[in-house]
Each structure stands twice: as structure tokens, then as C-alpha cells.
Amino acid sequence: MYQKSVLNNGLRVITETLPYFHAVAAGVWLNVGSRDETREENGLSHFLEHLAFKGTSRRSASEIAREIDEIGGSCNAFTSQEHTCFHGKVLAEHLPRLVDLLGDMILCSLYQPQDLEKERQIILEEIYAQDDNPEELVQIAFSRHFWGDNPLGRPILGEAEKIAAVSRQELMAYRQATYRPEETVVAAVGRVDHQELVELVAANFGDFTNGFPPRPRRQAFTFPGIFPIARDLEQVYLCLGTRGVAARDCRRFAATLLQLILGGNLSSRLFQVIREELGLAYSIYAFLSFFSDTGLLGISAGVSPKNLEALLAAVCGELQKLKDEAVPEGEIQAAREYLRGSIYLSAEDLDHLMMRLAKNEIHFGHYISLEEIVAGLLQVTPAEIQEVAQDFLQPDLWALTLLGQVGPDWGGALDF
């Protein structure tokens, strides 16, 4: 059963009660991420997320870790382009302690100078590790070129030079400006009593206020083109993509099926053609990213330099087919069944259910059942998938980033 309440400060509490579970997964979702940062603030959302675990006015860092272990559950956090989420999963009887812990970490962290310096080094190590991973690095480079100077194009972790110099004053000022109760959702799924959770959240977050005006997000524009980056690697890592649909776009179901058919599983067209038939790459896949007002449809792969041209030609051929020919009903039905199975199997995971519940509230403002999602997928027609393909699979709208043994004057092209 789904229920929703709004506190006096605008914070929303949403629950889905599933009494047959022994546990409850709960998350506090702040509507702030790397997209809300200025160029000078890049990386601060992620930095604040890290520092929340380093001590509050009531708990030291070791006491936070010990309490998580004592309640026999888990507690973690992540930062994305548009959100910062602190979440945990515990036995239902320990929910009061989890809510108290999350509230303490989010609202009462001390951000002590010595803790800031320790965490600064950890985040710098994260950045350096990312720089050593070409599969991640090509994605970061693609975003930088594709989204340009928009915050969507900047790395969530920030740039090493900025993180090395950021001050406690800057972190505190950014937190004060962007952590807002009316933009916060507390979501819980499992063996949870809604009214009990509302009272717990009110006790821990009722005094949460922010008198600063909200920051509007900048409209995102895209910058197509080919961007080769020379690097001494055994493979060329590539990411190519175009603007996709936003989270609320009515075409999201057709776009999801298009992505799956193109490169979402082992029977997808790209995997079957590129790997199984032509043997050009070990790994290739298509992906979708949904944001509040835009999206991204992309393809990622790694390939030997000698096979790069052949791989791109084969990819372009598959994109052209999706524009020119309606997907056969049998292929669509197989994709629907795959997604239906994934949706219902994921319902066995409380963390996944909590995240789905929160994202539906954030993007739509209301609950969306699994049955509604499945029904939306079942209603998609071949014509709708082809229409989405014709709208988005246009070579002059795509960007391609290459990382590896390619020179700055690489002369390839996208033709589909």
C-alpha cells in the first residue's frame, strides 16, 4: 500500500508497505547533484556526501560505522547529476535508529577541517583511479564534449585541481544554498508503518529549513561532432550518443524498447552483429540516461584499432535499419518479455523498490505501479519505435568520442 504525507517545511514522506518483508529500505533524496554546481563548485555535491559520514555533533565517524553494524543493516550514499541520496536497509524494528542516523548525518555533520583533509585525499584517489580506467574516462570525455559548458558535462567527482583546493567555507556555503526541505523526499519500502515514519521524519527533519532562493537549472544544449583523444592503449574505447528523452516524456517506453533492441542484452542487434557475427569487439552495449528535462541515448564499446572502422560501419548500419525498417513484432515481443521479467524480478529487491518509489515521486509527483509500467511497455507499437528512431538516429545530432590510438586528425565519419 502506497501513502504520502508532506511536512510543514515541504519535505515529502512516501511509503510502500509490504508486510511480508522483515526489513525496510529507506532513503533521503536531496534534489541536488553535479548539475546544480557552478564551474567553481564542481564536485562539491559529492564531497559533501562523503563528509556526512565523518562525524556529527552527536556521533564520531567510528560511532556512525559502529551503529550501522550494530543494527545489522547497511547504510550508504551516492551522488548523481541531479540527486544526492543517503539510504539504508535494516530490520523493521531498527527503522527509528536508521532515520535518526540519516537525519544526524545530513543535517548535523561538522565538516571538521581534519576530516575534510582526509576525505579530500580519498576523493583525489577516486579521481586518479577514474583517470586510469579508459572505459570510465571515455564516458567522462564524451559528456564534456556533448553537453559543453553545461553542468551535465562536468564530472560528478569534480576535477582534481579544484578538489585539491576547495575550502570548508566553500563547502558550507554550497550546502546552505542547495539543501532544501521542499526539494527533499524520504522514501521507504518494506515492513513500514506510514504514520510512524512520518513522526520519525518530523522529529529528525522538522526543523530543516532554507531561506535562500532556489537555483534554477540551466537548460542543456548538445554539441554533436567527433572528438578523438590520443592515448597509448591497446584498444580504442568509444562512446557515441545523441539526445534522448526526458524522464517524463511520453515516448520513454518506446525509447526503452529501442535501446534494448539496439544493444540492451545478449540477443540485441549490436551484440549479435558486432560480437557474434563479425567478432569485432568483446563488449558493446547501448544505454539510456533520463534526466528531468532531457536525456541521452548512447553506445559504448572497446575495439582493436584495426577494427575501429569496421565496427563503426556496422553500428551505423544497425542504426540505419532501425530508421528504415519497422522492428518485427516478434522481436518487440521478446524485448517486452525481457523487460517485464526484469521489472518483476527487481521487485524482490527492497533497495530497488525504494529507489523506484523515490524517482517516481521526484519525476511524476505520484506513485506508479509495476503493472502500469508493464502496461505502458506492452502498448508500444512497431510504428512508435520507428518514429523514435527516425527522430533521434540522425548522424548530425550525434557525438562520438574516441580514446586510444587515434590521432587528432582522425578522418572517420558517422553515416546512417
**Cα-atom radius of gyration of the chain, to the nearest Å?**
23
DSSP H helix total and E strand total for the chain: 15, 11
| C-alpha to C-alpha distance for 399 and 225, rounded to whole angstroms | 5
Residue showing cell 532556489: 214
Are the beta carbons of 159 and 42 closer than 8 angstroms?
Answer: yes
Would you call 182 a catalytic residue per the annotation? no
**Rounded CA gap, 346 and 225, in Å?**
37
Q: Where are the alpha helices (DSSP H) in 237-300?
A: 252-263, 269-270
| Parallel/antiparallel/unpaired status of strands 236-243 and 399-404 | antiparallel
Residue ranges with strand state E in 265-394: 284-290, 295-303
State the cell numbers at 258: 529501442
* Active-site annotation holder among 16, 37, 49, 183: 49
Other beta carbons within 10 angstroms of residue 328's beta carbon come to: 10
Residue type, position 61, single letter: A
What the block records as the C-alpha cell of 71 is 543494527
Q: H or E element: which one contains 348?
A: none
Residue 370's CB is within 10 A of a number of other CB atoms, namely 14
- Residue 277, Cβ density class (10 Å: 0-12 exposed, 13-18 middle, ≥19 buried): exposed
Residue with cell 578523438: 228
DSSP string, 90-118: EEGGGHHHHHHHHHHHHHHB---HHHHHH
188, β-bridge pairs: 15, 26
Q: Tell me which amino acid residue 131 is.
A: D
Q: Report the 10 Å Cβ neighbour count for 333.
A: 11
- Residue 206 β-bridge partners: none
Count CB neighbours of 154 within 10 A.
24
Residues belonging to the active site: 49
